[in-house]
Amino acid sequence: MMRLRLGLGLLGLLALGALLAPLAQGWLGHDPFAPDLFNRFAPPSAAHPLGTDELGRDILLRLLFGARVSLAVAAAVALGATLLGTTVGLLAAWRGGWADAVLMRLADGLLALPALPLLVVLAAVDTGRFGLPRGEALSDILRIAVILVAFGWVTVARLSRAAALTQLSLDYVAAARVAGASEARVLWRHVLPNIAGPIAVATALSVAGAILAESTLSFLGLGIQPPAPSWGNMLSNAQEMVFSAPLAAVWPGLAILLAVAGCTLLADGVRRRLP
């Protein structure tokens, strides 16, 4: 129970900071996107509680606005991967036969691929050639989310399939079918609620994985593009000054650590509450 509360507390604190970012900007009176070269690497003060970065921008405000981007990517990836993975897993368990074989071999193939190099290659594709917008935070979020969902649904699919196969073999499912329940009702009203716990654990872990993946791509310059802040590109911008101005790298790194730790604690807390 303590792990669950601690995980929810960490994630809730980060989400609250993201929601209150515009209010913090108004309170501090700084533009987190506008450079101020006369105020580079300023130490923490009342005007800049966490100091400023290599372009004189307030680190606290960029962390809060970066939380909006990083958490939005993570939420979109977790939602998309969970919906797609659960649908595929239920379909494979219900239909069996060739459908199960095809879907699971597809999942096995994706698991066998080197994920990080492929993510880097796909993230480097110029979306402008396909008529899609580029250089905008929203388009970057959607691009990264689609790429991560394309690989992230596999774990949820395999987990939901295994759990659904167990439930479909139990007597209450046979009783529901004998009572005249349709297959859709059996899956939606009986099987899905009983596998929601393991899926929730996988979803929490996928949020952590999405945060790390987005941070990695942004750190490499292939994710969220400046001037829009994300924790990953904040780390990338600070890497050359890590010894002369370490705080510029410490704060985004700490934010990533807290977010991943919160997701892990949440997943572990949910897992411990499962029967």
Asked if 222 contacts 123 with a C-beta cutoff of 8 angstroms, the reply is yes
The whole-number pLDDT of residue 255 equals: 94
Q: Is 70 helix (H, G, I), strand (E, B) or coil?
A: helix
Asked if 225 contacts 140 with a C-beta cutoff of 8 angstroms, the reply is yes
- Tens of pLDDT, residue by residue over 108-160, are 888 887 777 777 777 766 655 555 555 566 777 888 888 889 888 999 999 99
CA-based nearest residue to 152, from 263, 258, 75, 253: 75
Asked if 227 contacts 33 with a C-beta cutoff of 8 angstroms, the reply is yes
The whole-number pLDDT of residue 129 equals: 58
Distance from C-alpha of 74 to C-alpha of 69, rounded to nearest angstrom = 9
* Among 2-6, 12-16, 40-44, the range of highest mean pLDDT: 12-16
The whole-number pLDDT of residue 157 equals: 93
Beta bridge partners of 58: 52
The whole-number pLDDT of residue 102 equals: 94
Which one-letter DSSP state was computed for residue 43? P
Query: What would the two tokens of residue 33 be?
Result: 């996107």
Q: pLDDT grade, residue 246 (50/70/90)?
A: confident
The whole-number pLDDT of residue 135 equals: 54
Residue 119 Cα distances to 98, 131, 204, 243, 266, angstroms: 30, 21, 21, 30, 26
Entry pTM: 0.86
Q: Could you tell me which residues come within 8 angstroms of residue 168 by beta carbon, excluding any fewer than 6 positions away?
A: 93, 94, 191
Q: Of 134 and 190, which is predicted with more confidence? A: 190
The whole-number pLDDT of residue 220 equals: 83
H or E segment to which residue 44 belongs: none
CA-based nearest residue to 80, from 139, 150, 15: 150
Would you say residue 175 has pLDDT above 80?
yes
H or E segment to which residue 49 belongs: none
Cis upstream peptide for 44 (omega within 30°): no
Phi and psi of 30, rounded to 5°?
-120, 155
